[in-house]
């Protein structure tokens, strides 16, 4: 059928832009350059990231180094440390005791020197957390949050780790050891945003004494350590620096003070990602992808089910400012939310099935990106076919329970073919329509379909197929 060709045009269009410093993502065994759409596979031979992945580029977007933390005492088959784009260790980049851990959950993040990057100052800081296993190794070397300094002007411009194993916040727990205390993240502070000199300051967030803490990192070094709230789990900051998820809880974030205030409980075992403008929160709970509107007072009341996804799917806001949906240890990315700033199904879920070029997606946790690099306000995304022929027909109610009406806005004297296609491109229903009701309506009953987004395609002899998106909930 002709619409199968046109389904390839159902790729939502919006500007592809990435802050150059994070334009290359260390994604499993793959290095992906998001200055291209779809992302360009630079290599499929990156070192195994397991649970820990950080990378950074120069201001022009050239990858400088990537890191999986360091060697794990229980997974010694994996190399750990700081690697060049050709996958060899940077000089002094082989991290063993106290340098981080390849199985540290969200356990590394890289930042430029707060003094600014110039031709004579190309220093970067890599923050790492030792893993739970380090606590029980033979010499019990869990050092908590440590940092290393990488000078890309050293070693004849090839880069070198010039300082490592610097303990910043020692490891300490109260109630019990948990891998959920391993995460670390960082985001630009309010002063860093305002300065035009290239200088910057950051808030670092992690856990100690069973609590979330922050510590400030700027031109003057490290200061303002403060415990904030009890908590554990993944740390996700919105790109506008107004919100933060701490495990399964949503908080308001103050980028001036680096403090948080409880907003809502998000349920258990959720995957979280914010939209680039920070106004929407996306969660995967079970096999349901949900969206929340953070601009409303009662966030939980704004929930919209966007689609059904595969079991154990993960989401991450990518440097392209699209949200990737993927599974662990596979050779492709399932799909993208192309316009995540938009409300409801207008966010544009595209079952892109992006190939990793022989590489494999992360086997456990996600890459760690400083959220401020992902900020963007683009909403100029649209379904090309729907916008061009948007008045051809409508679907109501939408969302529905699977029983809905297709209203044609003009009388058709030709036979119609109605097809329903899922987000993987599979035709799940097709039928020939030879007669319309007096109101030019077609009743459709597909309550047997799973909840989620679908394409409804009407094909006739009069012209091109016309497509709408509808939701079953």
Instruction: Report the alpha-carbon distance of residue 405 to residue 397 in Å, rounded.
Output: 7
Cα–Cα distance, 20 to 57 (Å, whole number): 7
CATH code of the region 18-374:
2.130.10
Angle value at C-alpha 339, between 336 and 341, nearest 5 degrees? 125
- CB burial of 42-81 (b: ≥16 within 10 Å; e: otherwise) equals bbbebbbbbbbbbbbbbeebebbbbbbbbbbbebeebbbb
- Going 264 to 270 to 271 to 275, the CA torsion angle's sign is negative
Give domain limits for the chain: 18-374, 384-472
Taking a C-beta distance cutoff of 8 angstroms, is the pair 185, 109 a contact? Answer: yes
Report pLDDT for 44.
96
Instruction: Give the ranges where 17-175 is alpha helix by DSSP (H).
Output: 132-135, 154-157
Cα–Cα nearest to 328, from 31, 27, 101: 27
Omega cis (within 30) before 225: no
Per-residue confidence (pLDDT) for residue 396, from 0 to 100: 86
Asked whether the bond before 399 is cis by omega within 30 degrees of 0, the reply is yes
Q: What are phi and psi of 151, to 5 degrees?
A: -110, 110
Phi, psi (rounded to 5 degrees) for 230: -65, 145
Nearest alpha carbon to residue 452 among 283, 305, 264, 311 = 305
Q: Please, what CATH class does the domain formed by 384-472 belong to?
A: mainly beta
CA distance 372 to 192: 11
Q: What sign does the dihedral 49-53-58-62 (CA atoms) show?
A: positive
Residue 180 DSSP label: G
Question: Burial of 202 by CB count in 10 Å (0-12 exposed, 13-18 middle, 19+ buried)?
Answer: buried
Residue of 324, 424, 338, 249 lying closest to 28 (CA atoms): 324
- Determine the pLDDT at residue 384: 37
Helix (H, G, I), strand (E, B) or coil at 346: helix
Report pLDDT digits (tens) over 34-59: 999 899 999 999 999 999 999 999 99
Of 379, 309, 355, 331, the residue nearest 38 (C-alpha): 355
Residue whose token pair is 């620096």: 241
The pLDDT of residue 2 is 42
Q: Which helix (H) or strand (E) holds 3?
A: helix 2-7
Output the pLDDT for position 139.
Answer: 62
Q: How far is CA 267 from CA 94, 234, 247, in A?
A: 39, 14, 10
Over its length of 473 residues, how does the chain's per-residue pLDDT go in tens digits? 444 434 433 433 333 445 789 999 999 999 999 999 899 999 999 999 999 999 999 999 999 999 999 998 888 899 999 999 999 999 999 998 667 999 999 999 999 999 999 999 999 999 999 888 888 766 667 889 999 999 999 999 999 999 999 999 999 988 888 889 999 999 999 866 655 456 789 999 999 999 999 999 999 999 999 999 999 999 999 999 999 999 999 999 999 999 999 999 998 878 999 999 999 999 999 999 999 999 999 999 999 999 889 999 999 999 999 999 999 999 999 999 999 999 998 898 888 789 999 999 998 889 999 999 999 987 656 443 333 344 578 888 888 888 999 888 776 656 788 888 876 567 888 888 877 777 888 989 988 888 777 888 888 766 656 777 777 87
* Residues near 135 by beta carbon (within 8 Å), at least 6 away in sequence: 142, 171, 177
């Amino acid at each position: 059928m002709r619409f199968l060709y046109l389904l390839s045009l159902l790729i939502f269009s919006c500007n592809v832009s990435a802050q150059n410093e994070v334009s290359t993502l260390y994604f499993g065994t793959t290095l992906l350059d998001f200055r291209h759409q779809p992302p360009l596979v630079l290599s499929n031979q990156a070192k195994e990231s397991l649970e820990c992945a950080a990378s950074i580029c120069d201001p022009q977007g050239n990858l400088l180094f990537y890191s999986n933390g360091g060697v794990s005492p229980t997974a010694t088959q994996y190399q750990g440390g700081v690697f060049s784009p050709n996958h060899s260790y940077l000089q002094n980049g082989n991290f063993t005791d106290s340098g981080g851990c390849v199985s540290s959950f969200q356990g590394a993040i890289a930042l430029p020197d707060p003094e600014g990057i110039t031709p004579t100052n190309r220093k970067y800081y890599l923050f790492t957390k030792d893993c739970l296993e380090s606590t029980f190794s033979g010499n019990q070397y869990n050092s908590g949050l440590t940092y290393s300094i990488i000078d890309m002007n050293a070693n004849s411009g090839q880069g070198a780790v010039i300082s490592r194993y610097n303990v910043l916040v020692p490891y300490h727990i109260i109630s019990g050891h948990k891998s959920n205390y391993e995460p670390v993240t960082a985001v630009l502070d309010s002063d860093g945003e305002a300065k035009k000199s290239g200088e910057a300051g950051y808030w670092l967030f992690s856990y100690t004494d069973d609590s979330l803490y922050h510590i400030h990192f700027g031109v003057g070094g490290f200061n303002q350590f403060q415990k904030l709230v009890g908590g554990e789990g993944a740390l996700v900051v919105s790109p506008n620096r107004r919100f933060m998820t701490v495990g399964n809880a949503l908080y308001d974030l103050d980028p001036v003070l680096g403090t948080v205030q409880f907003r809502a409980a998000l349920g258990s075992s959720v995957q979280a990602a914010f939209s680039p403008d920070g106004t929407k929160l996306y969660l995967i709970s079970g096999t349901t992808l949900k969206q929340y509107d953070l601009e409303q007072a009662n966030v939980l009341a704004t929930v919209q089910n966007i689609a059904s996804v595969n079991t154990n799917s993960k989401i991450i806001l990518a440097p392209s400012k699209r949200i990737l949906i993927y599974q662990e240890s596979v050779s492709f990315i399932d799909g993208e939310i192309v316009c995540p700033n938009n409300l409801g199904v207008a966010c544009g879920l595209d079952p892109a099935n992006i190939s990793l070029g022989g590489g494999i997606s992360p086997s456990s946790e996600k890459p760690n990106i400083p959220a401020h690099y992902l900020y963007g306000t683009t909403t100029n995304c649209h379904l090309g076919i729907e916008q061009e022929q948007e008045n051809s027909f409508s679907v109501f109610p939408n969302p529905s329970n699977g029983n809905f009406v297709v209203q044609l806005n003009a009388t058709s004297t030709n036979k119609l073919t109605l097809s329903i296609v899922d987000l993987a491109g599979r035709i799940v229903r097709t039928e020939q329509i030879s007669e319309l009701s007096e109101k030019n309506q077609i009743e459709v009953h597909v309550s047997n379909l799973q909840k989620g987004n679908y394409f409804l395609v009407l094909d006739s002899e009069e012209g091109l197929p016309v497509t709408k998106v509808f939701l079953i909930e």
